Amino acid sequence: MSYATDDAEMSSAREILYLCRGKLLGEVRQEKSCSQPDAGRLADLGGMLDQLRDDIRAVHAGDRAVITRARVLYGRLVRAWYAPAPH
């Protein structure tokens, strides 16, 4: 694989992971703004954020497995978020 392809894949993976992190941070803020935040949900969201941070570090380090996983699995989540809602 060429360096250009590697760079494009890493860039794509980083963008996807940052979109997911932003979405999760929004959900954390929304949950915390409730009159009675759900501690279990906040803990789950915190765990997901920790995993995303680890994955972001791995992508920056060039971990091919994490880059592929981010582009495939997290990419599916992002596409689902932005897909038009069925009527």
Residues of the chain with pLDDT under 70: 1-5, 87
35 belongs to a structural domain: yes
Assess if residue 67 is contained within a domain.
yes
pTM over 0.75: yes
pLDDT at 54: 96
Task: Answer whether residue 87 is part of any domain.
Answer: no
Quote the percentage of the chain above a pLDDT of 70: 93
DSSP string, 13-39: HHHHHHHHHHHHHHHHHHHHTSSS--H
**Residue 44 is encoded by which pair of tokens?**
């789950």
The total domain count for the chain is 1
> Is 69 contained in some domain?
yes
Long-range CB pairs of 62-66 (<8 Å, 24+ gap) are: 62/6, 62/10, 66/13
In a domain, 62, yes or no: yes
Could you list the residue range(s) of the whole structural domain that residue 28 is in? Answer: 3-81
- 86 assigned to some structural domain: no
Q: How far is CA 40 from CA 12, 27, 31, 36, 54, in A?
A: 32, 13, 11, 12, 21
Q: How far apart are CA 17 and CA 78, in angstroms?
A: 9
Q: What is the pLDDT of residue 37?
A: 94
SS3 category, 8: helix
